[in-house]
Structure 1
C-alpha cells in the first residue's frame, strides 16, 4: 500500500469516526428528551468535509479511558 493510499484510508477512517460519534451523541440526546430516533441520523457535511467545530467536538483526542 502506498503512502497516498494509507493517508487516504486514515482520512476516511477519521471522517467515519467523527460521523459515528456525532450520530451516537445525537441519538442519546434524542432518547433523553423523547425525540424520534430519526433525529439521530442528521449528517450535513459540506462537500464531504467535516466542519472544523464538529471535528473538534467529536474528533478523537489525546485522552484515554482506563
Structure 2
C-alpha cells in the first residue's frame, strides 16, 4: 500500500475516538467526525477512503509500527 499523508487534524480526531472507544464511551458525534474527515481527505487526495482509514488507524493505534 502506498504511503498516505495523514494530516494532524485527522490524527487528533481518531485519537479522541480511540480513547473514547477504549473507555466504552464512543459517541456518535466523535465517530461521525472521524468518518467525515476521512471521506473529505480521501476525496481531496484522490485515494480510497478505506486506505486513508486503515493508515489513520495504524498511525493512532500502532504508532510503533
TM-score (structure 2 length as normaliser) = 0.36
Q: Which has the higher helix share?
A: 2
Larger Rg: 1
